Amino acid sequence: MNPETDKTSSESPSAAQDEHSKWLKQLSTFTELGKTVTSAEKIKDIRLKIGEGIAGWVAKEGTPLLVPDAQQDPRFAKKVDDKSRFITKSVICVPLISKGKILGVIELINKVEEGSFKYEDLIILRTIADYTAIAIENAKYFQKVHELTVTDDLTGLYNSRHLYRFVDYEVERAKRYKTNIAMIFFDMDGFKEINDVHGHLCGSKVLTEVARVINSTLRKVDMACRYGGDEFVIVLPQTSKEQAFIAAEKLRNMIKDFTFLKEEGINTHLTASFGVAALPEDANDKLELIHLADKAMYSVKNANKDGVALAQKENKR
């Protein structure tokens, strides 16, 4: 008899049992994970107030917490378990802190392996939380820097840099899908007098109020920008020239009826001159669209002001 063969044969039942136990443990783990995912769907809309529940307590105090038996802890909020029909046994929760400010919390519930969470688990989660807080803070700064590059500091509208990028994209999209894109270009009438009589601070306030009026009229797909000085541009994707004219008339009347500098006690009224152009009716590309809308606006500006003019397609020689 071969000793090696005999040895392998004698160990096979034990190895098979170990493999079977391992498989059962994995199956149990996946079952628990499945329950957790199902429960997560049920509670995704539940919100805890600061100080409510274990997560709320950690968010309020800024202190990590290890709870071996959640059901016996007075800070535990049972409404989440009631909603999900899930039984919370043990919990570890740590705050996400960056520069002394609490950004949120990370909470882990029910250790998959047997037993409850240990202090070692809390140490690991605190390390993860530190890196997570740094990542969140960096993402916020990145978003802020991005916003500063595309928005006008004074009005909060987009700036001309973003306008060109946006129109580039929308023009290509309009050409590809054979749809329209319209542009409203307008300039405030009598704005120089506001600066001369009431000062530049009041002039700046007027521009922010104009931006507020614009924002109240925009659809989600529209984009408004401060082109420069007291000039503004609104881009209306999938909009015909006639529809843009109606939108411009509506905005013109809203500006005319608006009382500017009310808080300053000045209570003045202003008007604006508008130009409307569209692609493909008038223009073939981005620059021509802006040029024709601007030209139409100046035709009103140089006439009676306080009106809306439609662009005229220029004949190419």
Can you tell me the distance from the alpha carbon of 109 to that of 86, in angstroms, rounded to the nearest whole number? 10
From 152, 187, 189, 230, the catalytic residue? 230
What whole-number distance in Å separates Cα of residue 75 and Cα of residue 110? 17
State yes or no: cis peptide before 280, omega within 30 of 0: yes
Q: 231-237 and 308-310: which strand pairing?
A: unpaired
Task: Report helix, strand or coil for 272.
Answer: strand
Q: Which residues pair with 104 in a beta bridge?
A: 96
Q: What residue has token string 């001369």?
A: 196
Query: Which two structure tokens, joined as six digits, stand for 169?
Result: 């994209």
Angle at 25 between CA 20 and CA 29, to 5 degrees: 145
64 exposure class (CB count in 10 Å sphere: 0-12, 13-18, 19+): middle
CA distance 244 to 237: 10
**C-alpha to C-alpha distance for 194 and 190, rounded to whole angstroms:** 7
> What DSSP letter does each residue of 9-21 carry, written as one string?
HHHHHHHHHHHHH
Using CA atoms, how far apart are residues 286 and 165, in angstroms rounded to an integer? 10
d(CA 137, CA 117): 28
Q: Is 82 one of the catalytic residues?
A: no
Residue 177 falls in which region: left (phi positive, over 0), alpha (psi -120 to 50) or beta: alpha
Element at 260 (helix H, strand E): none
d(CA 69, CA 109): 11
Active-site residue numbers? 230
